[in-house]
A and B are shown apart, each in its own frame.
Chain A
Protein backbone atom coordinates (compact mmCIF):
# COMPACT_ATOMS: atom_id res chain seq x y z
CA UNK A 1 0.00 0.00 0.00
CA UNK A 2 1.14 3.49 -0.75
CA UNK A 3 1.17 6.31 1.75
CA UNK A 4 2.70 9.68 2.43
CA UNK A 5 3.72 11.27 5.70
CA UNK A 6 3.91 15.00 6.08
CA UNK A 7 6.08 16.04 9.00
CA UNK A 8 4.73 19.09 10.77
CA UNK A 9 1.04 19.90 10.62
CA UNK A 10 1.86 23.59 11.07
CA UNK A 11 4.88 25.51 9.77
CA UNK A 12 5.52 29.22 10.30
CA UNK A 13 8.14 31.20 8.42
CA UNK A 14 8.93 34.87 8.14
CA UNK A 15 8.21 36.70 4.92
CA UNK A 16 11.29 36.39 2.70
CA UNK A 17 12.59 33.28 4.49
CA UNK A 18 13.05 29.79 3.08
CA UNK A 19 9.99 27.56 2.98
CA UNK A 20 10.58 23.84 3.57
CA UNK A 21 7.64 21.45 3.78
CA UNK A 22 8.48 17.80 4.33
CA UNK A 23 6.96 14.75 2.68
CA UNK A 24 8.08 11.13 2.90
CA UNK A 25 6.45 8.41 0.85
CA UNK A 26 6.05 4.71 1.20
CA UNK A 27 5.69 2.76 -2.01
CA UNK A 28 6.84 -0.62 -3.21
CA UNK A 29 7.55 0.71 -6.68
CA UNK A 30 8.65 4.15 -7.89
CA UNK A 31 5.61 6.34 -7.48
CA UNK A 32 4.23 9.45 -9.04
CA UNK A 33 4.33 12.25 -6.47
CA UNK A 34 2.46 15.52 -6.29
CA UNK A 35 2.19 18.67 -4.22
CA UNK A 36 -1.12 20.50 -4.10
CA UNK A 37 -2.04 23.78 -2.38
CA UNK A 38 -5.44 24.56 -0.91
CA UNK A 39 -6.61 28.05 0.03
CA UNK A 40 -9.51 28.39 2.51
CA UNK A 41 -12.83 27.08 1.21
CA UNK A 42 -11.35 26.23 -2.17
CA UNK A 43 -10.35 23.12 -4.07
CA UNK A 44 -6.81 21.88 -4.58
CA UNK A 45 -4.43 23.51 -7.04
CA UNK A 46 -1.59 21.47 -8.52
CA UNK A 47 1.80 22.96 -7.63
CA UNK A 48 4.07 20.37 -9.20
CA UNK A 49 4.45 16.68 -10.00
CA UNK A 50 7.17 14.04 -10.23
CA UNK A 51 6.62 11.32 -12.83
CA UNK A 52 10.07 9.68 -13.01
CA UNK A 53 11.71 12.22 -15.28
CA UNK A 54 13.98 14.85 -13.67
CA UNK A 55 14.40 14.44 -9.91
CA UNK A 56 14.28 18.22 -9.33
CA UNK A 57 10.85 19.42 -10.27
CA UNK A 58 9.92 23.06 -10.69
CA UNK A 59 6.36 24.17 -10.14
CA UNK A 60 4.22 27.25 -10.09
CA UNK A 61 4.64 30.26 -7.79
CA UNK A 62 8.39 29.65 -7.36
CA UNK A 63 8.05 26.27 -5.64
CA UNK A 64 10.21 23.26 -6.38
CA UNK A 65 10.65 19.76 -4.99
CA UNK A 66 13.37 17.15 -5.16
CA UNK A 67 12.69 13.42 -5.42
CA UNK A 68 15.23 11.48 -3.33
CA UNK A 69 14.76 7.75 -3.69
CA UNK A 70 17.40 6.91 -1.08
CA UNK A 71 15.53 8.96 1.51
CA UNK A 72 12.02 8.22 0.14
CA UNK A 73 11.40 11.96 0.32
CA UNK A 74 9.81 14.64 -1.83
CA UNK A 75 10.21 17.85 0.15
CA UNK A 76 8.76 21.13 -1.13
CA UNK A 77 10.84 24.30 -1.02
CA UNK A 78 10.64 27.96 -1.96
CA UNK A 79 13.61 30.28 -1.50
CA UNK A 80 11.65 33.31 -0.33
CA UNK A 81 8.22 33.17 1.29
CA UNK A 82 5.50 35.60 0.29
CA UNK A 83 2.38 36.48 2.23
CA UNK A 84 0.27 34.93 -0.53
CA UNK A 85 1.89 31.52 0.16
CA UNK A 86 -0.15 31.14 3.35
CA UNK A 87 -2.31 28.06 2.73
CA UNK A 88 -2.61 24.31 3.35
CA UNK A 89 -0.21 22.12 1.39
CA UNK A 90 -0.79 18.46 0.60
CA UNK A 91 1.64 15.86 -0.64
CA UNK A 92 0.12 12.96 -2.58
CA UNK A 93 1.24 9.69 -4.17
CA UNK A 94 -0.22 7.45 -6.82
CA UNK A 95 0.68 4.34 -8.79
CA UNK A 96 -2.85 3.61 -9.86
CA UNK A 97 -5.71 5.92 -10.57
CA UNK A 98 -6.32 7.18 -7.06
CA UNK A 99 -4.33 9.76 -5.17
CA UNK A 100 -3.39 9.06 -1.56
CA UNK A 101 -2.89 12.29 0.34
CA UNK A 102 -0.98 13.21 3.45
CA UNK A 103 -2.70 15.00 6.30
CA UNK A 104 -1.48 18.39 5.13
CA UNK A 105 0.77 21.16 6.41
CA UNK A 106 -0.65 24.56 7.19
CA UNK A 107 1.85 27.26 6.24
CA UNK A 108 1.71 30.58 8.05
CA UNK A 109 3.75 33.55 6.88
CA UNK A 110 4.89 36.01 9.54
CA UNK A 111 5.11 39.62 8.28
Chain B
Protein backbone atom coordinates (compact mmCIF):
# COMPACT_ATOMS: atom_id res chain seq x y z
CA UNK B 1 0.00 0.00 0.00
CA UNK B 2 1.78 3.09 -1.26
CA UNK B 3 -0.90 5.54 -0.13
CA UNK B 4 -2.31 8.53 -1.97
CA UNK B 5 0.33 10.59 -3.76
CA UNK B 6 0.12 14.14 -5.06
CA UNK B 7 2.33 16.09 -7.40
CA UNK B 8 3.75 18.67 -7.10
CA UNK B 9 4.03 19.15 -3.36
CA UNK B 10 4.58 22.89 -3.76
CA UNK B 11 3.72 25.32 -6.54
CA UNK B 12 4.43 29.03 -6.78
CA UNK B 13 2.82 30.86 -9.67
CA UNK B 14 1.98 34.35 -10.76
CA UNK B 15 -1.55 35.66 -10.82
CA UNK B 16 -3.24 34.86 -14.10
CA UNK B 17 -1.28 31.70 -14.83
CA UNK B 18 -2.82 28.25 -15.12
CA UNK B 19 -1.77 25.42 -12.82
CA UNK B 20 -2.49 21.69 -12.80
CA UNK B 21 -2.18 19.27 -9.91
CA UNK B 22 -2.14 15.50 -10.08
CA UNK B 23 -3.44 12.92 -7.60
CA UNK B 24 -2.77 9.20 -7.69
CA UNK B 25 -5.18 7.35 -5.39
CA UNK B 26 -4.73 4.05 -3.62
CA UNK B 27 -5.12 1.61 -6.49
CA UNK B 28 -8.14 -0.34 -5.31
CA UNK B 29 -10.18 2.74 -4.32
CA UNK B 30 -12.93 3.74 -6.73
CA UNK B 31 -13.76 7.04 -5.02
CA UNK B 32 -11.52 10.10 -5.28
CA UNK B 33 -12.03 13.47 -3.59
CA UNK B 34 -10.52 16.95 -3.77
CA UNK B 35 -10.50 19.38 -0.86
CA UNK B 36 -9.06 22.83 -0.29
CA UNK B 37 -7.58 23.97 3.01
CA UNK B 38 -6.69 27.55 3.85
CA UNK B 39 -4.54 28.58 6.81
CA UNK B 40 -6.19 27.96 10.16
CA UNK B 41 -9.19 26.19 8.68
CA UNK B 42 -10.36 22.64 8.16
CA UNK B 43 -10.44 21.22 4.65
CA UNK B 44 -13.43 22.14 2.47
CA UNK B 45 -14.92 19.77 -0.08
CA UNK B 46 -14.46 20.65 -3.74
CA UNK B 47 -15.52 17.62 -5.78
CA UNK B 48 -15.55 13.85 -5.95
CA UNK B 49 -15.42 11.06 -8.48
CA UNK B 50 -16.69 7.53 -8.47
CA UNK B 51 -14.52 5.78 -11.01
CA UNK B 52 -14.36 8.24 -13.94
CA UNK B 53 -17.67 9.97 -13.20
CA UNK B 54 -17.62 13.33 -11.44
CA UNK B 55 -20.68 13.03 -9.20
CA UNK B 56 -20.65 16.17 -7.08
CA UNK B 57 -19.11 19.63 -7.22
CA UNK B 58 -19.08 22.24 -4.49
CA UNK B 59 -20.10 25.83 -5.11
CA UNK B 60 -16.50 26.61 -4.15
CA UNK B 61 -15.47 25.13 -7.50
CA UNK B 62 -15.81 28.18 -9.71
CA UNK B 63 -15.72 28.07 -13.50
CA UNK B 64 -11.95 28.53 -13.34
CA UNK B 65 -11.58 25.13 -11.70
CA UNK B 66 -11.87 21.84 -13.54
CA UNK B 67 -11.20 18.30 -12.41
CA UNK B 68 -10.91 15.12 -14.39
CA UNK B 69 -10.35 11.46 -13.70
CA UNK B 70 -9.82 9.74 -17.02
CA UNK B 71 -10.12 5.97 -16.92
CA UNK B 72 -10.98 6.11 -13.23
CA UNK B 73 -7.37 6.10 -12.08
CA UNK B 74 -5.39 9.30 -11.40
CA UNK B 75 -7.08 12.67 -11.27
CA UNK B 76 -6.05 16.20 -12.22
CA UNK B 77 -7.26 19.50 -10.84
CA UNK B 78 -6.68 22.54 -13.03
CA UNK B 79 -7.05 26.14 -12.00
CA UNK B 80 -7.17 28.66 -14.82
CA UNK B 81 -6.29 32.34 -14.46
CA UNK B 82 -5.16 31.93 -10.87
CA UNK B 83 -6.00 34.58 -8.31
CA UNK B 84 -4.31 35.34 -5.00
CA UNK B 85 -7.35 33.94 -3.21
CA UNK B 86 -6.57 30.54 -4.71
CA UNK B 87 -3.52 30.24 -2.45
CA UNK B 88 -4.20 27.21 -0.28
CA UNK B 89 -3.34 23.57 0.31
CA UNK B 90 -5.12 21.29 -2.17
CA UNK B 91 -5.74 17.86 -0.72
CA UNK B 92 -6.70 14.70 -2.52
CA UNK B 93 -8.25 11.68 -0.82
CA UNK B 94 -9.42 8.28 -1.94
CA UNK B 95 -11.52 5.59 -0.38
CA UNK B 96 -13.63 2.52 -0.88
CA UNK B 97 -16.70 3.95 0.82
CA UNK B 98 -17.32 6.44 3.67
CA UNK B 99 -13.67 6.38 4.79
CA UNK B 100 -11.23 8.72 3.08
CA UNK B 101 -7.44 8.49 3.08
CA UNK B 102 -5.58 11.68 2.31
CA UNK B 103 -2.48 12.45 0.34
CA UNK B 104 0.23 14.89 1.44
CA UNK B 105 -1.33 17.81 -0.40
CA UNK B 106 -0.14 20.41 -2.89
CA UNK B 107 0.55 23.84 -1.44
CA UNK B 108 -0.20 26.60 -3.94
CA UNK B 109 1.05 30.15 -3.57
CA UNK B 110 -0.21 32.72 -6.05
CA UNK B 111 1.88 35.88 -6.18
Contact = CB atoms under 8 A, between A and B. Distances in A.
Interface stretch (B12-20, B76-84, B103-111): B103-111
Interface residues of B, number: 26
A99 interface: yes
A99 B48 CA distance: 11
Contact of A98 (B56, B91, B105): B56
B42 A101 contact: yes
A94 B99 CA distance: 9
B45 A41 contact: no
A51 B96 CA distance: 14
B33 interface: yes
A26 B97 CA distance: 21
A45 interface: yes
Contacts of A98: 33, 45, 48, 56, 58
A44 B43 CA distance: 9
A51 B98 contact: yes
A34 B43 CA distance: 13
Interface string B71-98: 0000000000000000000010100001
A110 interface: no
A17 to B, nearest CB: 25
A44 B56 contact: no
Which 7 residue pairs are nearest across A and B when measured between Cβ atoms? Answer: A101-B42, A98-B45, A43-B102, A44-B102, A43-B104, A43-B105, A43-B103
Interface of B: 4, 6, 31, 33, 35, 40-45, 48, 55-56, 58, 91, 93, 98-105, 107
14 contacts: A43-B104, A44-B93, A44-B102, A46-B99, A46-B100, A49-B99, A90-B42, A92-B42, A98-B33, A99-B35, A99-B100, A101-B43, A101-B44, A103-B40
